[in-house]
Structure 1
Amino acid sequence: MSLPIVACALLLAALASSQFADGCYTSIFAFGDSITDTGNYFSLISKGLLQYDEIPNCSVPPYGETFFHHPTGRCADGRLIIDFIAEHYGLPFLQPYSGGGNAANGVNFAVVGATVLTDDVLQTNTDSADNISLMSQINMFKTYLPSICKNTSSCHEIFEKSLIVFGSIGSNDYASAILVKRVEDAYRLQPLVINALASAIEELIKLGVVNLMVPGMMPVGCLDGCLAVYDGSNKEDYDLITGCLTWLNEFGQKHNELLQKELSRIQEHYPNVFITYADYYNAGLELFLSPSKYGFNNETRLIACCGSGGPYNADNDTKCGFPSSQVCDDPSSSIQWDGAHLTEAANEWIAKGLLSGLYTFPNITASCVSSANGNGVYVN
């Protein structure tokens, strides 16, 4: 059997046979960027807390059309990976913190465009900056904590039954360099990004969190927005099976390799904390390797469902949601939504792969047992 068929068979078998830990967690707290944001960016702009030059496209139709039937600030046609994780554990969708989210079942601090590094570091290294950094989200979390727990003991009780979904984040740090074809600058940023991620994780652990899922980067070399930027590159730059940019996927894999090493180090230092690495890369890549196995159109795997033309239907100057953009008839047959984000259908498959344990190391279903026994385990 070929590798894609074997991987597909393993995933389907895992989904059919695994016993999910439904009801394990009573709350989820999420951090990250547009892959995870459920409305913070739009809310921050509405309140004048973020500056912008145009209406954020994720806040206008056709965003949200598949599930919510209206825009929610999510950068997809429907639910995100974090939404499927919440559903899996029997929890409501996470409310955005900036939208007044103060629910007992958790809060989402992720923001579209968020970076790991702060403005001053990004300006020094890439001549670009974003308004929200990961530490800004950590500070939001610190501000939020007194509303749910009054002392260390009560916080500990909550965190024992809480899952922290920490990412994915980091792509925006590299984007300004990669999109202007300064790949060497992006590679120079990797150690800074990984060190900042590790520091933020340890900051959360010191606050008392004990169960963390930390995702790596997606296969960014398959994203149609990146493919559009590098359209016309040498044929040798593309994977023969998927059509993805090989060197850009290798860049993402290097980030993930460095991240896993740091997670292993942190786990060793904090043995009573459960840390699981979420392999977004391979969970996502599997869809591009075998689209039809998961119900996707093989011919459009590298073409955005919503866009304004071009070989990948991904024009950064005329984004999805702009008046001249168009949306495909059936988003569920497409892997990619808008040039930078996946469709709800793709997000669901990735979430299933994670929650089955096939793409989490160690298996996410072990986290409840491990935290209850006071044993954290990380396997690289």
Structure 2
Amino acid sequence: MDFIDLKTQYAALRDPIQQRMQRVLDHGQYIMGPEVAELETALAARTGTAHCITVSSGTEALLISLMALGIQPGDEVITTPFTFAATAEVIALLGAVPVWVDVEEDTGLIDANLIEAAITPKTKAIMPVSLYGQVPDMDAINAIAAAHGNLPVIEDAAQSFGARYHDRESCNLSTFGCTSFFPSKPLGCYGDGGAIFTHDDALAQACREIRIHGQSKRYTHTRIGVGGRMDTLQCAIVLAKLERFAWEVQQRMQLGQAYNALCDAAGIPRMQQREGRTSVFAQYTVRVSQREQLQEQLKAAGIPTAVHYPIPMNQQPAYQGLCDRPTPVADRLATEVMSLPMSADLTQAQQQQVMQALTSVLSNT
């Protein structure tokens, strides 16, 4: 069993993917070809945002957004330590300081109730992270940002494209929404890719220039930029995958709810979903003790697992000392979370196999 079954997905989409890729090979515009603008238009329409700017990765999406906002050395950006390194990495790369705010016990999402206490005169942005396919409490976060001089809010939506928050799409909830098309994401390409979403015309233009080395036109560099373009072939692949993405989101939700029922029946603690929000279950995550032992036993039974994430960013060697705010909930979750196989093509039989193995292993520990 694969942890994420990309082979079955490709088999279902082989023809449109190959046709899309062949089109690119035929026209030969591998950088900024017509599929780039086509994908940006399609993604903006799906999310309901005014602008979509495709970029070379989800990491680059976050970095370019911060650059567009003018984040400078010494500025502070509030975020969560319970996330992948990219979230904190882009802040530190600009010489700014990631300010850790602890997470909710039941969701692992940044605790909006703790954000205000972390705001200082140096705070220049808030970067909440959508985790396991679910969006944080963006209304509360946006209200706090508005009350403190309209601080920009950047949703790190690498895991939540396709999820909804009170009938609004992830990536259409704040100043910026940034997502990733890494192959394992709910909507993935076959390499690296990402996108930035915003309603702000000026910020969108800044992002477009920054992703092409700060050029407003060829060889005219009006700002500091990066080589951050998403290549045409990867855009073509995402366009092909969009054909069945609505079905995949529905499948993920059904599988997630089935996992919920199975875990609840077996008394296995799991990460929760909040009312008024949907999840695309980028990962399905339970909480266990003696995790390494359980993982080894499940591996022996043919069940792959993963951990998102085993070490919070504030405990990572490269980030220790940047911010000393305590995050006891994130620290505890990092020792307990374990993700189970999850993808739109996971079968009911496979899901039963996973749960039978998990309950058997747990009963013997």
- Structure 2 length normalisation: TM-score? 0.29
> Per residue, is there more strand in 1 or in 2?
2
> Per residue, is there more helix in 1 or in 2?
1
- Structure 1 length normalisation: TM-score? 0.28
